[in-house]
């Protein structure tokens, strides 16, 4: 009997990260789906911020996806989802921070902003971030492997992929596609889509288009 429970919401990319980490590690867990528009009154007893994901491990609780995933890595070290070498672990944490502080805000700004000028600025910022990932991650860290750190999947891959599964929303509502010249990034996305963990909880394009429509106020496309 598992003693881990994850509080999740199927539409939430942050919760998606942690479900992928649990699946990649082969950890049994109970799943509690939270309606983010109608949260249980006692949900803050588990997640003080009132956000998903959060986990309970026995009598302990952990929240915030990046922190949960490192907790799982430390508590269930096999199979490893962070490199062993300290410098590569540092690099992994840098890229996770880049996702949280730069990539995700640009993505969200592009999708959610109703103002064309703001959309164009966010689109340019997101293009720059994607180019930076292509040049600094895949060209320097991946070598010939399909993942961020080469042949082995890591928490970094799981950190970014949920937004790429949802990319259909940016394409549909903002006309924004991954630039064709970013070949390594496109190969990485394809490799992740073929993972058993990803397939196990993948949602259809129609699912995301329906649910993200309300987050994409109408305005002219950014491209």
pLDDT of 159-181, one tens digit each? 999 999 999 999 999 999 999 99
What angle in degrees, to the nearest 10, is found between the helix axes of 167-174 and 205-212?
A: 60
Q: What is the pLDDT, as a whole number, of residue 223? A: 52
Domain assignment present for residue 220? The answer is no
Domain assignment present for residue 222? The answer is no
pLDDT of 181-193, one tens digit each? 999 999 999 999 9
Q: What is the pLDDT, as a whole number, of residue 215? A: 80
Q: What is the pLDDT, as a whole number, of residue 218? A: 61
Q: What is the pLDDT, as a whole number, of residue 76? A: 97
- What CATH number is given to the structural domain containing 66? 3.40.30.10
pLDDT of 82-141, one tens digit each? 999 999 999 999 999 999 999 999 999 999 998 899 999 999 999 999 999 999 999 999
Question: Using CA of residue 199, residue 205, residue 209, residue 210, what is the dihedral sign?
Answer: negative
Q: How many domains does the chain have?
A: 2
Same domain, 112 and 63: no
Helix (H) or strand (E) holding 62: strand 60-63
Domain assignment present for residue 138? The answer is yes
- In total, the chain counts a number of residues equal to 223
pLDDT of 22-31, one tens digit each? 999 999 999 9
Q: What is the pLDDT, as a whole number, of residue 107? A: 97
* Residue of 12, 34, 54, 222 with catalytic role: 12
Coil vs helix vs strand at 220: coil
Please give the Cα distance from 135 to 53 (Å, whole number): 31
Q: How much is the pTM?
A: 0.94
Please give the DSSP secondary-structure letter assigned to residue 4.
E
**Confidence bin at 216 (pLDDT 50/70/90):** confident
- What CATH number is given to the structural domain containing 104? 1.20.1050.10
Q: Which residue has the higher pLDDT, 215 or 222?
A: 215
Domain that holds residue 180: 86-215
Q: What is the pLDDT, as a whole number, of residue 214? A: 84
pLDDT of 41-50, one tens digit each? 999 999 999 9
Domain assignment present for residue 71? The answer is yes
Give me Rg for the CA atoms of the chain: 18
Is 12 among the residues known to form the active site?
yes
pLDDT of 35-74, one tens digit each? 998 999 999 999 999 999 999 999 999 999 999 999 999 9
Is pLDDT at 15 greater than 90 in this prediction? Answer: yes
Last residue of a domain, one of 75, 106, 127: 75
Domain assignment present for residue 143? The answer is yes
Domain assignment present for residue 18? The answer is yes
Start-to-end CA span in the chain (Å): 51
């Amino acid at each position: 009997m598992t003693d881990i429970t994850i509080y999740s919401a199927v539409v939430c990319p942050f919760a998606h990260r942690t479900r992928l980490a649990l699946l990649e590690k082969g950890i049994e867990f109970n799943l509690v789906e939270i309606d983010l528009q109608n949260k249980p009154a006692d949900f803050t007893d588990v997640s003080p911020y009132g956000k998903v994901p959060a986990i309970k491990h026995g009598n302990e609780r952990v929240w915030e996806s990046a922190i949960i995933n490192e907790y799982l890595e430390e508590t269930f070290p096999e199979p490893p989802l962070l490199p062993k070498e300290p410098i590569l672990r540092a690099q992994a944490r840098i890229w996770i921070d880049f996702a949280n502080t730069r990539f995700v805000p640009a993505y969200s700004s592009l999708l959610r902003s109703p103002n064309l000028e703001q959309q164009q600025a966010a689109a340019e910022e997101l293009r720059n971030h994607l180019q930076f990932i292509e040049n600094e991650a895949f060209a320097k860290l991946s070598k010939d492997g399909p993942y961020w750190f080469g042949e082995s999947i890591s928490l970094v891959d799981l950190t970014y992929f949920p937004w790429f599964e949802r990319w259909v929303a940016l394409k549909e509502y903002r006309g924004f596609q991954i630039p064709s010249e970013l070949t390594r990034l496109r190969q990485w996305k394809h490799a992740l889509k073929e993972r058993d963990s990803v397939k196990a909880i993948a949602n259809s394009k129609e699912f995301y288009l329906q649910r993200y429509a309300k987050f994409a106020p109408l305005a002219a496309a950014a491209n």
